[in-house]
Amino acid sequence: MHPCQIYADIFTLAERWSEGGDLLGSLAGRKVVFFGDTACNVANSWLLGANHFGLEIILCGPPGFEPGIEIKALLKKFGGKYTFTSNPREAANGADVLYTDVWVSMGKEAEESGRLQTLKPYAVTRELLDLAKPGAYFMHCLPAHPGLEVTQEVLDDPRSIIFDQAENRLHVQKAILEWLVKK
């Protein structure tokens, strides 16, 4: 799981959407779409974070890459929900955020060639970003692999907020540490 990453990501979105107003209220009902390996640790953390903060979460990936039994049980226990689709265009349509992560995580190196081929249709491209809402954002927890899970064109697009996201990770983690120390 990557709870610190998701807290930073959600803070980054609230910071942009609230315009100095209600941080948490600015999140309600926003649509976040995670593309690629939707069984990975970042996707799992997005499932929990999105449900906790009132965001709609759509997972888009190939069959066989859906969330596992453990995360489904946890969502069921806490009343969480999500939508899964294998259709990238359908998922991107009207989204507030397009998000992806690397396709070959630690421990999956032996599966690299098969994963890259299977996940190729789920790369975040300019076409997908253009299907999202006007003002939508692209996010990636970095490091990104241009030409695999995302195109260089999307990484360089003004709608990409990957560097704000990375900066906020530092600040959010400092806040979490301060909170833990005071407990």
Spatial separation of the C-alpha atoms in residues 121 and 118, rounded to whole Å:
7
pLDDT of residue 40: 95
- Span 88-139, pLDDT tens digits: 999 999 999 999 999 998 888 998 999 999 999 999 999 999 999 999 999 9
User: How many structural domains is the chain composed of?
Assistant: 1
**How would you classify residue 102: left for phi > 0, otherwise alpha for psi between -120 and 50, otherwise beta?**
beta
Domain hosting residue 106, numbered range: 3-182
Which CATH number fits the domain that encloses residue 55? 3.40.50.1370
Give every CB contact of residue 3 below 8 A, 6+ residues apart in sequence. 45, 48, 49
Which pLDDT score is estimated for 106? 82
- Dihedral sign computed on CA atoms, order 91, 99, 129, 136: positive
Structure confidence at residue 32 (pLDDT) = 98
Instruction: Give the pLDDT score at 107.
Output: 82
Please give the model's pTM, rounded to 2 decimal places.
Answer: 0.95
Residue pLDDT, tens place only, 13-24: 999 999 878 999
Using the CB atoms, write b or e for 43-58: b if 16+ within 10 Å: bbbbbbbbbebebbbb
Give the pLDDT confidence score for residue 96 in this predicted structure.
98
* pLDDT given for residue 59 in this prediction: 98
**Average pLDDT of the chain?**
95
Over residues 48-99, the pLDDT tens digits come to: 999 999 999 999 999 999 999 999 999 999 999 999 999 999 999 999 999 9
Name the band, by pLDDT with cuts 50, 70 and 90, for residue 155: very high
pLDDT at 1 over 60: no
